[in-house]
């Protein structure tokens, strides 16, 4: 399965969530059981030789491939959420979006110092969310082994904000 094959399952939604943004919607891909399975295999491939102990998925679409990748790699799963969504004590990190600012949080006991963690999301845009997730995991003492995304919007140069970690993307726009 090539990147171009997968692009057929990505829907472009113009002007969402605001004018000038093209939202890359992965729900058609998720709805096809064979393609979704292939994507999980593809997104797991770079991490099979030395799997992480935990996979941290970024809210909300990062949860979907993230949890499946965790199962594939024999790892636990940690949800990285938007502020106010977690019921226990949390650690918080702020970040810039392509279209604003926000915060991420995780339970303060979600990661033990030294645990190997892979961060997963659906899209890498400006790199703000992913770099905040890396900082958040490191606040807890994690050894961040890398960031895995399905889609990279290369024209937004988000990769530059993640130069200190291994970054793997499957579809480049």
Q: What is the pLDDT of residues 77-116, one digit of tens each?
A: 999 999 999 999 999 999 876 666 899 999 999 999 999 9
CB 139 within 8 A of CB 104: no
Residues with a catalytic annotation lie at 61, 98
* Mean pLDDT, residues 69-79 taken together: 98
Per-residue pLDDT band at 136 (split at 50, 70, 90): very high
Topology adopted by domain 39-172:
Rossmann fold (3.40.50)
* DSSP letter (8 states) at residue 157: T
Q: In the chain, which ranges are continuous DSSP H helix?
A: 3-7, 27-30, 33-44, 63-73, 128-139
Peptide bond into 17 cis (omega under 30): yes
pTM: 0.95
Domain residue ranges of the chain, discontinuous segments joined by + = 39-172
Give residue 159's pLDDT.
97
């Amino acid at each position: 399965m090539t990147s171009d094959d997968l692009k057929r399952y990505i829907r472009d939604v113009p002007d969402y969530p605001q004018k000038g943004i093209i939202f890359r919607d992965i729900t058609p891909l998720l709805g096809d059981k064979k393609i979704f399975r292939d994507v999980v295999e593809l997104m797991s491939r770079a991490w099979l030789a030395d799997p992480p102990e935990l996979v941290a998925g970024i809210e909300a679409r990062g949860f979907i491939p993230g949890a499946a990748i965790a199962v594939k790699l024999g790892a636990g799963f940690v949800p990285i959420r938007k502020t106010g969504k977690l019921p226990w004590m949390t650690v918080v990190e702020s970040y810039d979006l392509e279209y604003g600012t926000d915060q991420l949080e995780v339970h303060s006991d979600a990661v033990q110092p030294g645990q190997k963690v892979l961060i997963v999301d659906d899209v890498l845009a400006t790199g703000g969310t992913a770099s905040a997730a890396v900082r958040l995991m490191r606040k807890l003492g994690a050894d961040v082994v890398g960031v895995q995304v399905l889609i990279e919007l290369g024209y937004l140069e988000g990769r530059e904000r993640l130069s200190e970690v291994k970054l793997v993307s499957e579809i480049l726009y």
